[in-house]
Each structure stands twice: as C-alpha cells, then as structure tokens.
Amino acid sequence: MGRRGPLPRPKLAARPAAPAAPLAAPKWLPADAREVWAALAPGLQENGRLTGASAELFGQYCAVVAELRVLAVTIAKEGPIVDGLHGRVISAATVAAGKSRSTLVALARSLGIDTPGAARLDAARPAPEVENAVAQFAAERSRPQTGPAARAARRRTAELFARMARPGDVYPAGQPAARPA
C-alpha cells in the first residue's frame, strides 16, 4: 500500500506484432487437427498468442480438439454408459473425453487462450516504462546517503541498536554490543 491507498498498477506491455507470414501447421499433425489449426491459428497469430515458439504446443492443442470431436461422435453413437461384463459401466470414450478435456484446459492456459491464462501472460510482461521506473528507484536507493540528515539518521539507528542490545550480541561490525549504563 502507498501512503494513501493502494499503489498504482503497472501498465501492461503491448502484445508483440504479428509476424507477416502465417505459421504452418507441424508436419506430424493429423488431417482433422490441421482443420482446427486452419480455423484458429490466424486469429491467435493476429493477437500475438501464437508465435513460432508456441507452435508445437498449439499443435498439441489442435490434436486434442480433434480427438475430442471424434470422442463426442463415439459417445453420441454408443452413449456415455454401455453394457459391460459386470453390468452397465461408463464407456471408455467417456473416460477418454474427460481426460482430454483436462488436457485441453491445461494447454489453453499455457497458450494464454483462456482468460486467466491471457491475464497471467500479460502480467508477466512488464511495460518498458515500469522497468525503467524500478531501475531508477533502485539506483536512487543504492546511492550512499550523505549530509547532516543522513548522519543524524545513522546516529539514531546506532543509539536504538545500543538500547536494544543484550550482552553477548554481536553486530555486523564485529564488535560486541554494549548496553549503556
């Protein structure tokens, strides 16, 4: 908190400019996942979420989306509960879809596609003005303080430590603390 209320929030950095050429889907991506890539990649690349560094991760995201589509069709045909050897059980497709959804959420968060992930990625990139302000503040605080006010402050601090000291205490100067009489 500042002297009167909370400190101002730092300004967020601008998103990186979109590359000129669209990114190509990874070669290992199946055909149905390439359709997902073609539908989602341009928008994500435009707003800076999809870069060359995140292309493989986004490829995995597209593969999971395509897999979920296949599982949804299977569940629609067979139903979520099927007859098994021991009676009615949850189908394997339903279990796989649940795990795929969890994977999809984790990948979306890592890519910054979902809202919390986007906020986390934006907050991790401080604006250049904030970095300069922090560096300037640190430089001012690390300068040795001189002058009568600084000497008086050091004297008051030394007197305070002397009053609080117990016999046997050692302070950084290497001298044992002495209690005033």
Q: What pLDDT does residue 112 have?
A: 83
Distances (CA, A) of 100 to 96, 108, 152, 155: 6, 12, 66, 66
- Domain total of the chain: 2
Residue-by-residue pLDDT tens, the chain, 181 positions: 556 777 666 665 555 554 567 889 999 999 999 999 999 999 888 888 888 888 999 999 999 999 999 999 999 998 888 888 888 999 999 999 999 999 999 998 888 887 776 776 666 665 555 556 666 666 666 666 677 877 787 777 777 666 666 666 655 555 555 555 4
Instruction: State which residues form the domain around 154.
Output: 146-181
Residues 113 and 160 in one domain: no
Distances (CA, A) of 33 to 18, 25, 67, 112: 23, 9, 8, 19
Q: What pLDDT does residue 21 have?
A: 79
Residues 94 and 47 in one domain: yes
Q: What pLDDT does residue 140 have?
A: 65
Domain for residue 12, yes or no? no
Q: Write the DSSP assignment of 4-68 as a string of letters.
A: TBPPPPPPBPPPPPPPSSPPPPPTT--HHHHHHHHHHHHHHHHTTS--STTHHHHHHHHHHHHHH
Q: What pLDDT does residue 125 have?
A: 60
